[in-house]
Amino acid sequence: MTVQFLKHDGETLAWQHQAGNRPVGVVFLGGWCSDMNGSKAVFLADWCAHRGIPLTRLDYRAHGQSSGQLVDFTIGGALADVLAVLQETAQGPQVIVGSSMGGWLALLLATRHPQYVKAMVGIAAAPDFTTDLMYPNLPTAEKETLKHAGQCQLPNGYQPAPVMIGQKLFDESEQHLLLRHPLNITVPVRLLHGLRDDDVPYARSLLLMDRITGADVRTTLIKDGDHRLTRPQDLALLAQQIDECL
């Protein structure tokens, strides 16, 4: 499938769209420091292709093949990237599948731009992770560097090289916090979370289920599942949830 590029907000966004013959498609939103060629995205590309289901995936700014620096990355910027690609591809409401940070973005779509959302599937969804999970766990030295220099370097467990993050990631994300209040989401929501997730505690999905006002919300906890949930049995469960939403 050909990678396409879109000029948006001073950046060049990489995205892919595979057509299908089904009226409702799937949109995959990956996690922080992930890209549209990760294990779950590739699995969904094959799964959707065999069923004639349209699929859209993208690299946010500063991710994958898109332009930009991670030190300038913000949640609002990523949401704007998703909207820009949806405006190019979406034919009516879609099933939004969000992994980790992508789950936060899916929730922002569902609450602020519901015209794009038929249903949502969250995989270790991580709303508010910058404020509630990431910043509190920063070492004191890194917090001081952020405060005085506006940026700091952090190890990244998913790639060998450290990453540079900016204070703006934390400051700007305050505009997008969701778990402080009820979430008016009435479309079907399916949440998957591993009990062995060391990055986003599974209690996050339980809190999210409580915050969503709609009744059609289910959380599936996988006792031996980790944060990625990329084992064959995890992917099969993901496909089952998506199929139900479709």
Q: Which two structure tokens, joined as six digits, stand for 193?
A: 């979370």
Residue 224 is among the residues annotated as catalytic for this protein: no
Residue 46 is among the residues annotated as catalytic for this protein: no
**Active-site pick, 59, 81, 197, 234:** 197
* Cα 229 to the center of its chain, rounded Å: 14
Residue 17 is among the residues annotated as catalytic for this protein: no
Type of residue at 99: S
CA dihedral 221, 225, 226, 232 (to 10 degrees): -120
- Residues paired with residue 110 on neighbouring β-strands, in sequence order: none
35 contact partners, CB below 8 Å, separation of at least 6: 41, 59, 63, 64, 65
Rounded-to-integer distance, Cα 124 and Cα 26, Å: 18
134 contact partners, CB below 8 Å, separation of at least 6: 170
Rounded-to-integer distance, Cα 25 and Cα 55, Å: 6
The CB density around residue 28, as the number of other CB atoms within 10 Å, is 28
Q: Nearest 5°: phi and psi at 82?
A: -60, -45
Sign, CA dihedral 60-38-158-240, equals positive
> Which active-site residues does the annotation give?
100, 197, 227
